[in-house]
Chains A and B, each alone.
Chain A
Amino acid sequence: MLGKTIGDLEPGDVFTPIRYTLTSFMCTEYAHAMEDPTECYYSDASLFGRQVRPPTMIHADKMRLLEANCDEERRIAGVRTDDARIHYEYHARHHSPAFVGEELVVSGRIVDKYLKRGREYLHYELRVETADGRLVTTYEDRTLLRFKKTEESANA
């Protein structure tokens, strides 16, 4: 637990890893939400012979990691700050599928925090592995901490 809001995170902050077991419910809810009919996200009737998660579910892992590490801003629980965060860049590398029933470990850190054209960005790095050490996904993310530019926020 870093005990902060997302906006308080600083380069060098390392998240306490989270562990969870991937369920069919998680995969189907996510795939259904994005209207992806790919059958392997819903059942074991696929090339893999096992149900897998959509690779973009790394975005849900980021939410889980923040929920567990930033106790003053828990967005799944509806605990928000004054500023909405806006996703700016997604960059995932897939190393292997994650199968339903596997325990996943999500870790991550803050790489950078910078100002660009009056707006502040946070650069995350995340890693998802199975509990027995198989690499699933590596991920980088850039998020805008607030849409209003710094001078606009000060005058609001």
Chain B
Amino acid sequence: MPDQIRPDLAVGAELSGPTRPLTMERVEWYSIGMLSAASGERQDVQHNIHTDHEYARSQGLPEAIADGMHSTNWMSAMLAQNFGAHYLTSGELRTKYIRPVLVGTRLTPRAVVTAREDGPDGVTYRLDVWCEDADGAKLTVGDAAVTVSTDGDA
């Protein structure tokens, strides 16, 4: 994240992150990393609806689906990249997983500024955020807000 970012965005400004295929390797990396972070010890890949097609089908899913947090994390990284430390100190992110993200889907995080509000603490940006597949279909949707403070520190 670049330090000392002070974005100046107009309503309608569009943001995006890299397009990446959400491969099984990436799903497994998140499984390992999240469980390791939650336990404080290095964990192995677990067999669950994200990593095991057969188990996912037994649960009524068409096949293994990515953890919804994968989309959220890629949107969060996009916001951190564009708003820097302001996002970590005053950000808000809401995401809804409206369609399953099947393993292998090419996913792109995007956002558009919907409002810009001047206040005593700085400028608050409100954004619609989403992750879309290669056809432009939205699989995860949500909104975000970040206040860019007017003082010297983020």
**A: which residues have CB within 8 A of B?**
20, 23, 25-27, 29-36, 38-40, 46-48, 52, 54-57, 59-61, 63-64, 67, 75-76, 78, 80, 83-84, 86-97, 146-148, 152
Nearest CB to that of B1 among chain A residues?
A38
Kindly count the residue-residue contacts between A and B in the assembled complex, taking CB atoms under 8 Å apart.
148
Most buried by A among B39, B48, B91: B39
Among B25-33, B119-127, B130-138, which stretch is in contact with chain A? B25-33
What residues of A have a CB within 8 angstroms of the CB of B150 in the complex? none
Nearest CB to that of A147 among chain B residues?
B60
SS of B interface (majority): helix
Contact A148 B60 (CB under 8 A): yes
Say which size band chain B's interface belongs to: 35 or more
Nearest CB to that of A142 among chain B residues?
B96
SS of A interface (majority): mixed
Contact A48 B85 (CB under 8 A): yes
Smallest distance from the beta carbon of A102 to chain B beta carbons, Å?
A: 14
Whether a CB of chain A sits under 8 angstroms from the CB of B70 is yes
A47-B84, A94-B91 given as contacts; is B76 within 8 A of A56 (CB)?
yes
A88-B97, A94-B88, A97-B89 given as contacts; is B3 within 8 A of A47 (CB)?
yes
What residues of B have a CB within 8 angstroms of the CB of A75 in the complex? 46
Partner of A29, one of B37, B88, B96: B37
Partner of B74, one of A34, A52, A88, A93: A34
Smallest distance from the beta carbon of A62 to chain B beta carbons, Å?
A: 9
